[in-house]
Copies of this chain bind each other. A is one copy, B any other.
Amino acid sequence: MIGDLRLPDPGQLEAYFALTEAVALLQHQVDQQLRAEGGISAVQFELLMTLNGSSTGLTMTQLADGVVYSRSGLTYQAGLLEKAGLVTRGPSPEDERATLVAITPKGREIVGRVLPGHIEVTRKLLYDAVDEADLNRLGRIMSQVRDHIRSEPPRSAGPRRRRRAAGI
């Protein structure tokens, strides 16, 4: 049915399925906690956390690094955060094209409010599930994977042959 396709061995499949399923479960509960305690989504939390580490603010492009979203999606999220008073947006002195995004005191307050619960959730679901040695291994392995993917040529490089789609 699949022809001469070399299938991944069971160990590879198990790793892939366990990885995606566990992360989906984890992210779902993380998102619930952030919405319940801070009224923000996981994406917004990630943006606030990134900005929290910068005193001068970041440009939209810098903010987009490390996030998967499109530029317009990021503009949308930044707009929501600005409307809620958690960030400010202003022109960059260095590059007139750029927009500098900075976290506000209220933004830091929200981060401080949700962080304990966030840590509690991740501890309960992730840190408590594996011992310290395995957690170190996990961090090393997934850092490797992340760096590997980031070093790959951009998606559009390989003009993949596009066959007829199901059209859902």
Residues of A near any B CB (own CB < 8 A): 1-3, 5-8, 11-12, 14-16, 18-29, 32-33, 35-41, 44, 66, 68, 80-81, 83-84, 86, 108, 110, 112-113, 115-117, 119, 122-130, 132, 134-139, 141-146, 148-150, 152, 155, 160, 162-163, 165-168
- Do the beta carbons of B126 and A130 come within 8 Å of each other? no
- Residue in B37, B112, B129 whose beta carbon sits within 8 Å of that of A1 in the complex: B112
Closest to A66 in B: B21
* Alpha-carbon distance A123/B8, docked complex (angstroms): 8
Which residues of the other chain, B, contact A130 by a CB distance below 8 angstroms?
141, 144-145
Specify which chain B residues have a CB less than 8 angstroms from the CB of A25 in the assembled complex: 68, 146, 149-150
Q: Across the interface, do B22 and A146 meet the contact criterion of CB distance under 8 Å? A: yes
Nearest B residue (CB) for A168: B84
Identical chains in the assembly: 2
Identify A36's interface contact among B19, B117, B143, B162, CB under 8 A.
B162
- Evaluate contact between A136 and B166: CB separation under 8 angstroms: no
Docked-complex contact B149 and A18, CB < 8 angstroms = no
Asked if A11 and B141 make an inter-chain contact with CB atoms under 8 angstroms apart, the answer reads no
Known: A29-B155, A68-B25. A136 touches B37 (CB 8 A): no
